Amino acid sequence: MQRSSQLSYKPLSNYTKLACKTESVFLKLKLMKIVKPVIDFVMDILETVVFIGSLFIVVYLFILTPNQVKGASMENTFHTGDYILTSRVTYKFRKLERGDVIVFKSPKNPDIEYIKRIIGLPGDIINIFDGVVKVNNIQLAEGYIAATTNLWEGGCIQNNVPYTVPSDNIFVMGDNRPRSSDSREFCAVPIDSIIGDVFYRYFPSNVIGVISNPLPKSIR
């Protein structure tokens, strides 16, 4: 009877084992050379994203805030859809000035933000008589307003009745007086409700630029 064939097993020599291990290590090193640059690249991107995100949060919360104008109260200076930058740090370096455009929390609803122009500072005497605005008995040259200054029936300000701005408050009005809810209606607003100074408009493209104060320095 023919015997069935059998496979013989011959143990690997030490040299063969070493060669296999060396080849395995070589392949791992080769793979690491390929993978490591990819990992480094991904990590660099992640670090950049985290840095930019952190920087954006810091800038947004403490330095600059983008806002979109909604409503007609500041026409013709600003229109609905304009995009502006509000500086949260301006008044840490200089005082409030009459003529500044600011964003502040509405005294009616703190969740709503208003954009208006500062007309009176703490202690100023505001008098509106037949559409003419006077601050400390000096008439403002308001070339920026869209219409003469009207008054609201039952509002805070009455025709030719002087109003003294309380301490730690400011008197604000919109440039489009007939379409603006402002200090003529709800009186002066607290300074600590100010979010920031509007200093730059970045949209639309035809009016991009720094927002300047139109009032003479002598009456700011």
pLDDT of residue 49: 74
Q: Show the domain range for 51.
A: 14-62
Average per-residue pLDDT in the chain?
A: 86
| pLDDT tens string 55-105 | 567 566 678 999 999 999 999 999 999 999 999 999 999 999 999 999 999
| One domain for residues 152 and 203 | yes
| One domain for residues 161 and 213 | yes
pLDDT of residue 35: 72
pTM of the predicted model as reported, rounded to 2 decimal places: 0.77
Q: Is residue 66 reached through a cis peptide bond, with omega within 30 degrees of 0 on the bond before it?
A: no
5, part of any domain: no
Statement: residue 191 has pLDDT above 70: yes
Provide the pairing of β-strand 189-190 with 125-129: unpaired
Residues with a catalytic annotation lie at 73, 116
Confidence of residue 4 (pLDDT cuts 50, 70, 90): very low
Statement: residue 166 has pLDDT above 90: yes
| One domain for residues 134 and 158 | yes
Q: Which residue has the higher pLDDT, 50 or 29?
A: 50
| One domain for residues 120 and 215 | yes
Q: Are 213 and 97 in contact (CB under 8 A)?
A: yes
Statement: residue 46 has pLDDT above 70: yes
Number of domains making up the chain: 2
pLDDT of residue 153: 85
| One domain for residues 82 and 111 | yes
pLDDT of residue 5: 47
Statement: residue 14 has pLDDT above 60: no
Helices (H) and strands (E) in the chain, counts: 3, 12
DSSP 84: E
pLDDT of residue 91: 95
| One domain for residues 122 and 165 | yes
| One domain for residues 201 and 170 | yes
Helix H or strand E segment including 76: none
| One domain for residues 70 and 153 | yes
148, part of any domain: yes
Helix (H, G, I), strand (E, B) or coil at 115: strand
pLDDT of residue 58: 59
